[in-house]
Structure 1
Protein backbone atom coordinates (compact mmCIF):
# COMPACT_ATOMS: atom_id res chain seq x y z
CA UNK A 1 0.00 0.00 0.00
CA UNK A 2 2.94 2.30 0.80
CA UNK A 3 4.34 1.61 -2.64
CA UNK A 4 0.95 2.19 -4.21
CA UNK A 5 0.58 5.52 -2.48
CA UNK A 6 4.07 6.89 -3.38
CA UNK A 7 4.60 5.48 -6.85
CA UNK A 8 2.68 5.01 -10.08
CA UNK A 9 3.86 1.47 -10.72
CA UNK A 10 0.48 0.02 -9.82
CA UNK A 11 -1.62 2.54 -11.84
CA UNK A 12 -2.11 0.12 -14.76
CA UNK A 13 -3.19 -2.58 -12.34
CA UNK A 14 -5.71 -0.26 -10.66
CA UNK A 15 -7.20 0.71 -14.02
CA UNK A 16 -7.45 -2.91 -15.08
CA UNK A 17 -9.21 -3.86 -11.83
CA UNK A 18 -11.65 -0.92 -12.13
CA UNK A 19 -12.61 -2.02 -15.63
CA UNK A 20 -12.93 -5.63 -14.57
CA UNK A 21 -15.10 -4.84 -11.55
CA UNK A 22 -17.46 -2.29 -13.23
CA UNK A 23 -19.91 -4.95 -14.53
CA UNK A 24 -20.11 -6.49 -11.07
CA UNK A 25 -20.78 -3.08 -9.53
CA UNK A 26 -23.46 -2.40 -12.11
CA UNK A 27 -25.16 -5.73 -11.39
CA UNK A 28 -24.98 -5.03 -7.70
CA UNK A 29 -26.84 -1.75 -8.18
CA UNK A 30 -29.65 -3.34 -10.27
CA UNK A 31 -31.79 -4.57 -7.34
CA UNK A 32 -31.72 -1.17 -5.69
CA UNK A 33 -32.58 0.67 -8.92
CA UNK A 34 -35.30 -1.84 -9.80
CA UNK A 35 -36.76 -1.58 -6.35
CA UNK A 36 -36.84 2.20 -6.58
CA UNK A 37 -38.55 2.05 -10.01
CA UNK A 38 -41.17 -0.46 -8.84
CA UNK A 39 -41.77 1.61 -5.75
CA UNK A 40 -42.34 4.68 -7.89
CA UNK A 41 -44.80 2.83 -10.12
CA UNK A 42 -46.71 1.43 -7.16
CA UNK A 43 -46.90 4.80 -5.48
CA UNK A 44 -48.16 6.38 -8.73
CA UNK A 45 -50.80 3.67 -9.38
CA UNK A 46 -53.47 5.13 -7.06
CA UNK A 47 -53.05 8.53 -8.71
CA UNK A 48 -53.41 6.95 -12.15
CA UNK A 49 -56.62 5.20 -11.07
CA UNK A 50 -58.03 8.42 -9.65
CA UNK A 51 -57.16 10.29 -12.86
CA UNK A 52 -58.78 7.53 -14.93
CA UNK A 53 -61.94 7.65 -12.82
CA UNK A 54 -62.09 11.43 -13.14
CA UNK A 55 -61.72 11.19 -16.92
CA UNK A 56 -64.52 8.60 -17.12
CA UNK A 57 -66.73 10.81 -14.96
CA UNK A 58 -66.06 13.83 -17.16
CA UNK A 59 -66.72 11.75 -20.28
CA UNK A 60 -70.11 10.51 -19.10
CA UNK A 61 -71.04 13.97 -17.86
CA UNK A 62 -70.25 15.45 -21.28
CA UNK A 63 -72.12 12.57 -22.92
CA UNK A 64 -75.23 13.19 -20.82
CA UNK A 65 -75.06 16.93 -21.54
CA UNK A 66 -74.80 16.20 -25.27
CA UNK A 67 -77.83 13.90 -25.12
CA UNK A 68 -79.78 16.51 -23.16
CA UNK A 69 -78.94 19.19 -25.71
CA UNK A 70 -79.99 16.87 -28.52
CA UNK A 71 -83.27 16.12 -26.76
CA UNK A 72 -83.94 19.82 -26.19
CA UNK A 73 -83.16 20.53 -29.84
CA UNK A 74 -85.60 17.85 -31.00
CA UNK A 75 -88.24 19.16 -28.59
CA UNK A 76 -87.73 22.70 -29.87
CA UNK A 77 -88.09 21.46 -33.44
CA UNK A 78 -91.32 19.70 -32.47
CA UNK A 79 -92.66 22.84 -30.80
CA UNK A 80 -91.70 24.87 -33.86
CA UNK A 81 -93.60 22.42 -36.07
CA UNK A 82 -96.65 22.67 -33.80
CA UNK A 83 -96.43 26.46 -33.87
CA UNK A 84 -96.27 26.44 -37.66
CA UNK A 85 -99.24 24.06 -37.77
CA UNK A 86 -101.28 26.18 -35.34
CA UNK A 87 -100.72 29.29 -37.46
CA UNK A 88 -102.21 27.50 -40.46
CA UNK A 89 -105.34 26.43 -38.59
CA UNK A 90 -108.64 28.25 -38.61
CA UNK A 91 -109.58 26.87 -35.21
CA UNK A 92 -108.41 28.28 -31.90
CA UNK A 93 -105.71 26.03 -30.48
CA UNK A 94 -104.24 25.35 -27.05
CA UNK A 95 -100.77 23.90 -26.67
CA UNK A 96 -100.56 21.05 -24.13
CA UNK A 97 -97.73 18.88 -22.88
CA UNK A 98 -98.05 15.11 -22.61
CA UNK A 99 -97.83 14.29 -18.91
CA UNK A 100 -98.53 10.56 -18.86
CA UNK A 101 -98.99 7.72 -21.35
CA UNK A 102 -101.15 4.72 -20.48
CA UNK A 103 -101.25 2.17 -23.29
CA UNK A 104 -102.18 -1.49 -23.14
CA UNK A 105 -104.24 -3.78 -25.34
CA UNK A 106 -107.57 -2.44 -24.09
CA UNK A 107 -106.74 1.13 -23.19
CA UNK A 108 -104.97 3.81 -25.22
CA UNK A 109 -105.06 7.01 -23.16
CA UNK A 110 -102.68 9.86 -22.47
CA UNK A 111 -102.75 12.68 -19.94
CA UNK A 112 -102.16 16.26 -21.06
CA UNK A 113 -101.29 19.25 -18.92
CA UNK A 114 -104.36 21.36 -19.66
CA UNK A 115 -107.80 21.22 -18.04
CA UNK A 116 -110.98 23.08 -17.20
CA UNK A 117 -108.99 26.13 -16.09
CA UNK A 118 -107.61 26.36 -19.63
CA UNK A 119 -110.94 25.96 -21.41
CA UNK A 120 -110.57 22.26 -22.21
CA UNK A 121 -113.81 20.25 -22.58
CA UNK A 122 -114.82 16.63 -23.18
CA UNK A 123 -114.96 15.73 -26.85
CA UNK A 124 -112.33 18.29 -27.85
CA UNK A 125 -110.20 17.18 -30.80
CA UNK A 126 -106.47 16.68 -30.24
CA UNK A 127 -103.85 16.80 -33.00
CA UNK A 128 -100.09 17.11 -33.45
CA UNK A 129 -98.15 18.66 -36.32
CA UNK A 130 -98.80 15.59 -38.48
CA UNK A 131 -102.41 14.59 -37.88
CA UNK A 132 -105.19 13.55 -35.52
CA UNK A 133 -104.17 12.18 -32.11
CA UNK A 134 -107.58 11.58 -30.53
CA UNK A 135 -110.10 13.38 -28.37
CA UNK A 136 -110.53 14.53 -24.77
CA UNK A 137 -112.63 12.18 -22.65
CA UNK A 138 -112.16 13.34 -19.04
CA UNK A 139 -111.42 16.86 -17.85
CA UNK A 140 -109.96 17.93 -14.51
CA UNK A 141 -109.02 21.42 -13.33
CA UNK A 142 -105.45 21.29 -14.63
CA UNK A 143 -105.20 18.03 -16.60
CA UNK A 144 -107.24 16.06 -19.10
CA UNK A 145 -107.37 12.50 -20.40
CA UNK A 146 -107.22 11.93 -24.13
CA UNK A 147 -108.39 8.78 -25.92
CA UNK A 148 -106.13 7.96 -28.85
CA UNK A 149 -107.64 7.02 -32.21
CA UNK A 150 -106.07 3.56 -31.80
CA UNK A 151 -108.04 2.81 -28.62
CA UNK A 152 -110.27 -0.24 -29.27
CA UNK A 153 -113.29 1.82 -28.20
CA UNK A 154 -112.67 4.66 -30.64
CA UNK A 155 -114.32 5.16 -34.03
CA UNK A 156 -113.93 8.14 -36.31
CA UNK A 157 -115.69 9.29 -39.50
CA UNK A 158 -113.18 9.81 -42.31
CA UNK A 159 -112.97 10.13 -46.06
CA UNK A 160 -110.45 9.00 -48.63
CA UNK A 161 -108.48 12.07 -49.65
CA UNK A 162 -108.01 10.85 -53.22
CA UNK A 163 -111.63 9.95 -53.98
CA UNK A 164 -113.72 11.65 -51.31
CA UNK A 165 -115.53 8.42 -50.38
CA UNK A 166 -116.55 8.23 -46.72
CA UNK A 167 -116.17 5.50 -44.13
CA UNK A 168 -115.27 4.95 -40.46
CA UNK A 169 -111.91 3.90 -39.00
CA UNK A 170 -111.71 1.97 -35.74
CA UNK A 171 -109.01 1.51 -33.14
CA UNK A 172 -107.60 -1.98 -32.75
CA UNK A 173 -105.63 -1.84 -29.51
CA UNK A 174 -102.40 -1.58 -31.50
CA UNK A 175 -100.78 1.84 -31.58
CA UNK A 176 -99.75 1.32 -35.21
CA UNK A 177 -102.91 -0.18 -36.75
CA UNK A 178 -106.43 1.05 -37.51
CA UNK A 179 -109.10 -1.08 -39.16
CA UNK A 180 -111.59 -0.01 -41.80
CA UNK A 181 -114.27 -2.72 -41.82
CA UNK A 182 -117.04 -1.16 -43.91
CA UNK A 183 -115.65 -0.64 -47.40
CA UNK A 184 -117.50 -2.46 -50.18
CA UNK A 185 -115.58 -4.89 -52.39
CA UNK A 186 -115.95 -2.49 -55.31
CA UNK A 187 -114.70 0.55 -53.37
CA UNK A 188 -111.87 2.54 -54.94
CA UNK A 189 -109.17 2.14 -52.30
CA UNK A 190 -105.49 1.27 -52.56
CA UNK A 191 -102.35 1.04 -50.44
CA UNK A 192 -100.95 4.51 -49.84
CA UNK A 193 -104.31 6.27 -49.81
CA UNK A 194 -104.75 8.75 -46.97
CA UNK A 195 -107.81 9.02 -44.75
CA UNK A 196 -108.64 12.52 -43.55
CA UNK A 197 -111.23 13.66 -41.02
CA UNK A 198 -114.59 14.14 -42.72
CA UNK A 199 -116.07 16.62 -40.26
CA UNK A 200 -119.20 14.50 -39.78
CA UNK A 201 -120.46 14.49 -36.21
CA UNK A 202 -118.99 17.92 -35.55
CA UNK A 203 -116.23 16.64 -33.30
CA UNK A 204 -113.22 16.64 -35.62
CA UNK A 205 -112.80 19.48 -38.13
CA UNK A 206 -112.73 18.46 -41.77
CA UNK A 207 -109.49 17.78 -43.61
CA UNK A 208 -107.01 16.64 -40.95
CA UNK A 209 -104.81 13.63 -41.82
CA UNK A 210 -105.75 10.52 -39.88
CA UNK A 211 -104.17 7.39 -41.37
CA UNK A 212 -102.49 5.87 -44.41
CA UNK A 213 -103.73 2.63 -45.97
CA UNK A 214 -101.23 -0.19 -45.52
CA UNK A 215 -103.21 -3.29 -46.52
CA UNK A 216 -106.17 -4.09 -48.78
CA UNK A 217 -107.64 -7.61 -48.95
CA UNK A 218 -110.51 -8.76 -51.14
CA UNK A 219 -112.38 -11.62 -49.46
CA UNK A 220 -114.50 -13.88 -51.66
CA UNK A 221 -118.21 -14.11 -50.77
CA UNK A 222 -117.93 -11.25 -48.28
CA UNK A 223 -119.61 -7.88 -48.71
CA UNK A 224 -116.69 -5.86 -47.40
CA UNK A 225 -112.97 -5.90 -48.05
CA UNK A 226 -110.43 -5.93 -45.24
CA UNK A 227 -108.51 -2.69 -45.01
CA UNK A 228 -105.84 -1.73 -42.49
CA UNK A 229 -104.19 1.66 -42.00
CA UNK A 230 -101.48 3.18 -39.83
CA UNK A 231 -101.98 6.44 -37.93
CA UNK A 232 -100.16 9.46 -39.34
CA UNK A 233 -99.83 11.33 -36.03
CA UNK A 234 -97.07 10.40 -33.60
CA UNK A 235 -99.63 9.45 -30.91
CA UNK A 236 -97.71 8.24 -27.83
CA UNK A 237 -94.39 9.52 -29.23
CA UNK A 238 -95.43 13.17 -29.18
CA UNK A 239 -94.19 15.50 -26.45
CA UNK A 240 -96.74 18.24 -27.08
CA UNK A 241 -100.15 18.34 -28.75
CA UNK A 242 -102.68 20.91 -29.88
CA UNK A 243 -106.25 21.05 -28.58
CA UNK A 244 -108.68 22.40 -31.18
CA UNK A 245 -111.43 24.62 -29.79
CA UNK A 246 -114.81 24.60 -31.51
CA UNK A 247 -118.43 24.71 -30.43
CA UNK A 248 -119.09 21.83 -28.09
CA UNK A 249 -120.40 18.98 -30.25
CA UNK A 250 -123.35 16.75 -29.64
CA UNK A 251 -122.63 13.04 -28.95
CA UNK A 252 -121.59 11.35 -32.18
CA UNK A 253 -120.27 8.12 -33.63
CA UNK A 254 -116.70 9.11 -32.81
CA UNK A 255 -116.59 7.25 -29.48
CA UNK A 256 -118.47 4.03 -30.01
CA UNK A 257 -117.60 1.40 -27.43
CA UNK A 258 -120.08 -1.10 -28.80
CA UNK A 259 -119.34 -0.48 -32.45
CA UNK A 260 -115.61 -0.98 -32.05
CA UNK A 261 -116.12 -4.73 -32.03
CA UNK A 262 -118.49 -4.77 -34.99
CA UNK A 263 -117.15 -7.15 -37.66
Structure 2
Protein backbone atom coordinates (compact mmCIF):
# COMPACT_ATOMS: atom_id res chain seq x y z
CA UNK A 1 0.00 0.00 0.00
CA UNK A 2 1.44 3.41 -1.02
CA UNK A 3 1.64 6.15 1.57
CA UNK A 4 -0.41 9.29 1.01
CA UNK A 5 2.60 11.62 1.43
CA UNK A 6 5.67 10.41 -0.38
CA UNK A 7 9.08 11.60 0.89
CA UNK A 8 11.13 13.67 -1.47
CA UNK A 9 14.90 14.04 -1.62
CA UNK A 10 16.73 14.46 1.62
CA UNK A 11 17.74 17.88 2.95
CA UNK A 12 21.39 17.24 2.13
CA UNK A 13 20.51 16.39 -1.48
CA UNK A 14 18.36 19.51 -1.87
CA UNK A 15 21.11 21.71 -0.38
CA UNK A 16 23.66 20.23 -2.78
CA UNK A 17 21.37 20.83 -5.75
CA UNK A 18 20.71 24.43 -4.63
CA UNK A 19 24.45 25.16 -4.28
CA UNK A 20 25.21 23.68 -7.72
CA UNK A 21 22.36 25.63 -9.34
CA UNK A 22 23.45 28.87 -7.66
CA UNK A 23 27.07 28.46 -8.74
CA UNK A 24 25.92 27.72 -12.30
CA UNK A 25 23.75 30.87 -12.38
CA UNK A 26 26.59 33.00 -10.96
CA UNK A 27 29.00 31.65 -13.58
CA UNK A 28 26.56 32.25 -16.45
CA UNK A 29 25.75 35.78 -15.23
CA UNK A 30 29.37 36.79 -14.54
CA UNK A 31 31.18 35.19 -17.49
CA UNK A 32 28.53 35.00 -20.18
CA UNK A 33 26.41 38.00 -19.12
CA UNK A 34 23.36 35.90 -19.73
CA UNK A 35 21.01 37.76 -17.41
CA UNK A 36 21.53 41.33 -18.61
CA UNK A 37 18.16 41.46 -20.34
CA UNK A 38 16.54 39.77 -17.35
CA UNK A 39 17.93 42.41 -14.96
CA UNK A 40 16.74 45.13 -17.31
CA UNK A 41 13.21 43.75 -17.31
CA UNK A 42 13.26 43.34 -13.51
CA UNK A 43 14.47 46.92 -13.02
CA UNK A 44 11.77 48.19 -15.34
CA UNK A 45 9.16 46.20 -13.50
CA UNK A 46 10.34 47.42 -10.08
CA UNK A 47 10.76 51.10 -11.00
CA UNK A 48 7.07 51.93 -10.33
CA UNK A 49 7.49 50.47 -6.85
CA UNK A 50 10.52 52.69 -6.29
CA UNK A 51 8.56 55.79 -7.31
CA UNK A 52 5.71 54.75 -5.02
CA UNK A 53 8.13 54.26 -2.13
CA UNK A 54 9.57 57.73 -2.78
CA UNK A 55 6.15 59.36 -3.11
CA UNK A 56 5.78 60.47 0.56
CA UNK A 57 9.11 62.30 0.38
CA UNK A 58 8.11 64.03 -2.86
CA UNK A 59 4.79 65.13 -1.38
CA UNK A 60 6.51 66.59 1.69
CA UNK A 61 9.04 68.48 -0.45
CA UNK A 62 6.31 69.93 -2.67
CA UNK A 63 4.34 71.00 0.37
CA UNK A 64 7.37 72.72 1.87
CA UNK A 65 8.07 74.57 -1.37
CA UNK A 66 4.52 75.80 -1.55
CA UNK A 67 4.70 77.12 1.99
CA UNK A 68 7.79 79.20 1.16
CA UNK A 69 7.36 81.15 -2.03
CA UNK A 70 10.16 81.91 -4.44
CA UNK A 71 9.77 85.66 -3.96
CA UNK A 72 10.18 85.34 -0.22
CA UNK A 73 13.43 83.42 -0.67
CA UNK A 74 14.80 85.95 -3.15
CA UNK A 75 13.93 88.85 -0.84
CA UNK A 76 15.50 87.11 2.15
CA UNK A 77 18.66 86.34 0.20
CA UNK A 78 18.98 89.96 -0.93
CA UNK A 79 18.41 91.25 2.60
CA UNK A 80 21.10 88.94 4.01
CA UNK A 81 23.52 89.93 1.23
CA UNK A 82 23.01 93.62 2.00
CA UNK A 83 23.54 93.03 5.71
CA UNK A 84 26.74 91.09 5.00
CA UNK A 85 28.24 93.90 2.94
CA UNK A 86 27.31 96.61 5.42
CA UNK A 87 28.72 94.54 8.29
CA UNK A 88 31.92 93.91 6.32
CA UNK A 89 32.32 97.63 5.66
CA UNK A 90 32.03 98.37 9.38
CA UNK A 91 34.51 95.62 10.33
CA UNK A 92 37.13 97.12 8.04
CA UNK A 93 37.40 100.19 10.26
CA UNK A 94 37.67 98.38 13.60
CA UNK A 95 41.43 97.75 13.37
CA UNK A 96 42.02 101.36 12.36
CA UNK A 97 39.83 102.71 15.14
CA UNK A 98 41.58 100.48 17.67
CA UNK A 99 44.98 101.87 16.66
CA UNK A 100 43.68 105.43 16.70
CA UNK A 101 42.20 104.92 20.16
CA UNK A 102 45.61 103.84 21.43
CA UNK A 103 47.32 106.87 19.87
CA UNK A 104 44.59 109.36 20.84
CA UNK A 105 43.49 107.98 24.20
CA UNK A 106 43.47 111.50 25.64
CA UNK A 107 40.98 112.63 23.01
CA UNK A 108 38.23 110.07 23.59
CA UNK A 109 35.71 112.87 23.98
CA UNK A 110 36.34 114.15 20.44
CA UNK A 111 33.34 114.03 18.07
CA UNK A 112 32.78 110.76 16.22
CA UNK A 113 33.54 110.87 12.50
CA UNK A 114 30.46 111.19 10.30
CA UNK A 115 29.06 108.06 8.69
CA UNK A 116 28.84 107.38 4.96
CA UNK A 117 25.85 106.60 2.82
CA UNK A 118 26.21 103.12 1.36
CA UNK A 119 24.86 101.83 -1.96
CA UNK A 120 25.23 98.17 -2.97
CA UNK A 121 25.82 97.41 -6.66
CA UNK A 122 26.45 94.21 -8.61
CA UNK A 123 29.14 93.41 -11.16
CA UNK A 124 27.89 93.44 -14.76
CA UNK A 125 31.03 92.81 -16.80
CA UNK A 126 34.84 92.93 -16.75
CA UNK A 127 36.91 94.86 -19.32
CA UNK A 128 38.68 92.37 -21.60
CA UNK A 129 41.50 94.80 -22.42
CA UNK A 130 44.67 93.24 -20.92
CA UNK A 131 46.19 96.70 -20.40
CA UNK A 132 43.40 98.07 -18.21
CA UNK A 133 41.65 97.01 -15.01
CA UNK A 134 38.05 98.19 -15.27
CA UNK A 135 34.63 96.73 -14.50
CA UNK A 136 30.99 97.70 -15.06
CA UNK A 137 28.40 97.83 -12.25
CA UNK A 138 24.60 97.91 -12.45
CA UNK A 139 24.02 101.30 -10.77
CA UNK A 140 24.15 104.79 -12.29
CA UNK A 141 22.87 108.31 -11.84
CA UNK A 142 19.36 107.06 -11.09
CA UNK A 143 20.78 105.48 -7.94
CA UNK A 144 22.81 108.54 -6.96
CA UNK A 145 26.16 107.35 -8.32
CA UNK A 146 28.66 110.02 -9.37
CA UNK A 147 32.17 110.21 -10.82
CA UNK A 148 35.14 109.54 -8.49
CA UNK A 149 32.89 107.82 -5.94
CA UNK A 150 34.84 105.32 -3.83
CA UNK A 151 34.05 101.58 -3.85
CA UNK A 152 34.90 98.90 -1.30
CA UNK A 153 34.10 95.24 -0.73
CA UNK A 154 34.12 93.25 2.52
CA UNK A 155 37.95 93.25 2.57
CA UNK A 156 39.04 96.69 1.43
CA UNK A 157 39.07 99.45 -1.18
CA UNK A 158 38.31 98.37 -4.77
CA UNK A 159 38.66 101.59 -6.77
CA UNK A 160 36.61 104.55 -7.90
CA UNK A 161 33.87 105.33 -10.40
CA UNK A 162 35.31 106.47 -13.71
CA UNK A 163 32.25 107.01 -15.93
CA UNK A 164 28.56 107.18 -14.98
CA UNK A 165 25.53 106.27 -17.07
CA UNK A 166 21.87 106.31 -16.23
CA UNK A 167 21.69 102.69 -15.06
CA UNK A 168 25.33 101.56 -15.02
CA UNK A 169 28.81 102.86 -14.28
CA UNK A 170 32.40 102.08 -15.22
CA UNK A 171 34.81 101.52 -12.33
CA UNK A 172 38.59 101.97 -12.36
CA UNK A 173 40.23 99.36 -10.12
CA UNK A 174 43.13 100.07 -7.77
CA UNK A 175 45.60 98.08 -9.87
CA UNK A 176 44.99 99.93 -13.16
CA UNK A 177 48.17 101.65 -14.36
CA UNK A 178 46.40 105.02 -14.39
CA UNK A 179 45.12 104.79 -10.81
CA UNK A 180 46.74 106.10 -7.62
CA UNK A 181 45.51 106.37 -4.03
CA UNK A 182 46.97 108.19 -0.99
CA UNK A 183 47.62 105.71 1.83
CA UNK A 184 49.30 105.58 5.20
CA UNK A 185 50.91 102.78 7.14
CA UNK A 186 48.77 101.51 9.99
CA UNK A 187 51.93 100.72 11.97
CA UNK A 188 53.63 104.13 11.98
CA UNK A 189 51.33 106.53 10.04
CA UNK A 190 53.90 107.21 7.28
CA UNK A 191 52.11 108.37 4.13
CA UNK A 192 52.66 106.97 0.64
CA UNK A 193 51.10 107.02 -2.82
CA UNK A 194 50.03 103.53 -3.99
CA UNK A 195 49.75 103.20 -7.77
CA UNK A 196 48.48 100.40 -9.98
CA UNK A 197 50.97 98.12 -11.70
CA UNK A 198 48.58 96.76 -14.33
CA UNK A 199 48.50 93.32 -12.70
CA UNK A 200 45.34 92.15 -11.00
CA UNK A 201 46.91 91.78 -7.53
CA UNK A 202 49.83 94.19 -7.32
CA UNK A 203 50.42 97.83 -6.38
CA UNK A 204 53.67 99.75 -6.00
CA UNK A 205 54.50 102.64 -3.71
CA UNK A 206 55.90 105.69 -5.50
CA UNK A 207 59.04 107.61 -4.51
CA UNK A 208 59.80 105.72 -1.29
CA UNK A 209 63.13 106.89 0.12
CA UNK A 210 65.67 104.39 1.44
CA UNK A 211 65.28 105.85 4.91
CA UNK A 212 61.50 105.28 5.04
CA UNK A 213 60.34 102.90 7.76
CA UNK A 214 58.39 100.39 5.67
CA UNK A 215 58.46 96.62 6.08
CA UNK A 216 56.88 93.51 4.61
CA UNK A 217 53.52 92.88 6.27
CA UNK A 218 52.68 96.53 6.89
CA UNK A 219 48.97 97.22 6.35
CA UNK A 220 48.18 100.31 4.28
CA UNK A 221 44.90 102.17 4.76
CA UNK A 222 43.39 105.12 2.92
CA UNK A 223 44.69 108.39 4.33
CA UNK A 224 41.72 110.52 3.27
CA UNK A 225 43.91 113.02 1.41
CA UNK A 226 42.54 114.15 -1.91
CA UNK A 227 38.92 113.83 -0.82
CA UNK A 228 38.10 110.81 -3.02
CA UNK A 229 38.58 107.90 -0.62
CA UNK A 230 37.35 108.14 2.98
CA UNK A 231 40.10 107.76 5.58
CA UNK A 232 40.67 104.51 7.41
CA UNK A 233 39.68 101.83 4.89
CA UNK A 234 42.12 98.92 4.28
CA UNK A 235 43.87 99.14 0.92
CA UNK A 236 46.82 96.75 0.70
CA UNK A 237 49.55 94.83 2.51
CA UNK A 238 53.24 95.31 1.74
CA UNK A 239 54.73 92.18 0.13
CA UNK A 240 58.21 93.30 -0.98
CA UNK A 241 60.74 95.94 0.08
CA UNK A 242 63.96 96.28 -1.92
CA UNK A 243 66.27 99.11 -0.81
CA UNK A 244 68.92 98.92 -3.51
CA UNK A 245 71.27 101.85 -2.94
CA UNK A 246 72.07 101.93 -6.66
CA UNK A 247 68.50 103.03 -7.30
CA UNK A 248 67.22 106.49 -6.47
CA UNK A 249 64.18 105.14 -4.59
CA UNK A 250 63.32 101.87 -2.87
CA UNK A 251 61.14 99.32 -4.65
CA UNK A 252 58.07 98.60 -2.54
CA UNK A 253 55.26 96.32 -3.75
CA UNK A 254 51.92 95.64 -2.07
CA UNK A 255 48.96 93.31 -2.61
CA UNK A 256 45.43 94.75 -2.50
CA UNK A 257 43.30 93.39 0.33
CA UNK A 258 40.13 93.53 -1.77
CA UNK A 259 39.33 90.44 -3.85
CA UNK A 260 39.70 92.22 -7.21
CA UNK A 261 39.62 88.97 -9.19
CA UNK A 262 36.44 87.69 -7.49
CA UNK A 263 34.22 90.78 -7.42
CA UNK A 264 30.48 90.12 -7.42
CA UNK A 265 29.04 92.89 -5.24
CA UNK A 266 30.52 96.28 -4.37
CA UNK A 267 29.70 98.95 -1.82
CA UNK A 268 29.75 102.61 -2.91
CA UNK A 269 30.44 105.23 -0.24
CA UNK A 270 29.38 108.85 0.03
CA UNK A 271 29.62 111.18 2.99
CA UNK A 272 26.20 111.74 4.56
CA UNK A 273 26.78 115.49 4.75
CA UNK A 274 27.04 115.62 0.97
CA UNK A 275 23.45 114.42 0.68
CA UNK A 276 22.30 116.79 3.35
CA UNK A 277 23.91 119.74 1.54
CA UNK A 278 22.33 118.71 -1.76
CA UNK A 279 18.92 118.53 -0.15
CA UNK A 280 19.37 122.01 1.31
CA UNK A 281 20.32 123.42 -2.07
TM range (shorter): 0.5 to 0.7
Higher strand share: 1
Match of 1:158 in 2: 183
Residues 20-47 of structure 1, C-alpha deviations (whole Å, 9 max, x = no match): xxxxxx9xxx9xx98xx98764143266
Structure 1 residue 78, shift from structure 2 partner:
5.8
Distance (Å, rounded) in 1 between the aligned partners of 2:249 and 2:77:
42
Distance 1:108 1:101, change over 3 A: same
Q: TM-score, normalised by structure 2?
A: 0.62
Provide the rounded CA distance (Å) in 1 between the counterparts of 2:129 and 2:242: 27
The CA distance in 2 between the partners of 1:74 and 1:103, in whole Å, is: 30
Higher RCO structure (Cα 8 Å, ≥6 apart): 1
SS at match of 1:236: helix
1:175/1:47 CA distance change after superposition, 3 Å: farther
What number of residue pairs does the alignment pair up? 205
- Residue 37 of structure 2: which of 22, 36, 42 is its match? 42
Structure 2: gaps of 5 or more residues = 2-16, 51-75, 94-113, 276-281
Whole-Å separation in 1 of the counterparts to 2:128 and 2:116: 29
Gaps of 5+ in 1: 1-7, 9-25, 55-72, 249-263
Asked whether the 8 Å contact 1:112–1:145 carries over to 2, the reply is: yes
Task: Kindly report which structure 2 residues correspond to 1:61-210, keeping only aligned pairs within 5 A, or say none.
Answer: 79-86=82-89, 90-102=115-127, 104-210=129-235
Q: CA RMSD in A?
A: 3.8
Question: How many angstroms apart in 1 are the aligned matches of 2:124 and 2:143?
Answer: 16
Greater gyration radius: 1
